[in-house]
Amino acid sequence: MPGEKDKKDHTNTINHAPEDNLNAKIGVLTRREAEARILAPMLDAMGETFGREKVLAVMRDTIVNIAKKQGAELAGLMGGVTFQHFADSLRFWTMDDALKIDVIEQTEDVFSFNVTRCRYAELYEKLGIREFGTALSCARDYALIEGFNPDVSFKRTQTIMEGAAHCDFRYRLNK
């Protein structure tokens, strides 16, 4: 395919990085703010030079690869891949009241909840980069659970980041 040989796979760089434990140390909201403050100006500058859509596509692909690796690391940190382990890990995302979560159902096979307040969306809005919010945060969710437990399917139909009243997270164990 034309241009395929020019496409780089950044997975190798990501896989050789030391284990990531920043979420446990500082919480995800603080981490996302630090990342956004450096990434946003870089994305703008690279977008002007190389084309915005091309740069955003590389960023999204890279972030998805990172999230999948972080999901696998998270399973190790939590000591397992059950929905109870995953639910316990939400403390990293909710630290500093970053998310308000209403659990709808939690069993061995299903974990469903709504996010009714998202300070991540508020953060990106405050920084003037809400358009990056989906790629910087929300797009990670599918890859994170795939890395955490590849036997889980995830469905979400709406997000606060994109203007909905709440985010609907629906996880199901594939049988």
In this structure, is residue 37 part of a structural domain? yes
DSSP string, 84-117: HHHHHHHHHHHGGG-EEEEEEEE-SSEEEEEEEE
Q: Is the pLDDT of residue 15 over 70?
A: no
Q: Is residue 108 predicted with pLDDT exceeding 70?
A: yes
Over residues 156-169, the mean pLDDT reads: 97
Query: Above 70 in pLDDT, residue 142?
Result: yes
pTM: 0.80
Per-residue pLDDT of 18-67, as tens digits, reads 566 666 676 778 888 888 888 888 888 999 999 989 998 998 899 999 99
Classify residue 13: in a domain, yes or no.
no
Residue at 18 is within a domain: no
Count up the domains in the chain and report the number. Answer: 1
CATH of the domain at 44: 3.30.1380
Give dist(CA 68, CA 167) in Å, integer: 21
Q: Is residue 6 part of a domain?
A: no
Q: Which residue has the higher pLDDT, 95 or 155?
A: 155
How many C-beta atoms lie closer than 10 Å to residue 11's C-beta? Answer: 15
Q: Does residue 153 register a pLDDT over 90? A: yes
Alpha-carbon distances of 170 from 47, 78, 106, 110, rounded to whole Å = 34, 20, 10, 8
Which is it for strands 167-173 and 152-155: parallel, antiparallel or unpaired?
A: antiparallel
Asked if residue 108 belongs to a domain, the reply is yes
Q: Does residue 102 have a pLDDT over 70?
A: yes
At 42, the amino acid letter reads M
Q: 89 falls in which pLDDT band (50, 70, 90)? A: very high
Quick check: is 132 in a domain?
yes
Q: Which residues of 51-79 are buried (b: 16+ CB within 10 A; e: fewer)?
A: eeeebbebbebbbbbbbbbbbbbbbebbe
Among candidate residues 36, 169, 174, the one with its CA nearest the CA of residue 94: 169
Distance CA 136, CA 144 (A): 13
Which residue, 158, 131, 113, 124, is CA-closest to 37?
124
Q: How many CA atoms lie within 13 A of 138 on its CB side?
A: 25
pLDDT value of position 23: 63
Is residue 32 one of the residues assigned to a domain? yes
The residue-averaged pLDDT of 76-91 equals 96
Domain boundaries, position 83: 27-173
- 172: pLDDT confidence band, cut at 50, 70 and 90? very high
Residue 160 · residue 147 · CB < 8 Å = no
Q: Is residue 64 part of a domain?
A: yes
Average pLDDT, the chain: 87
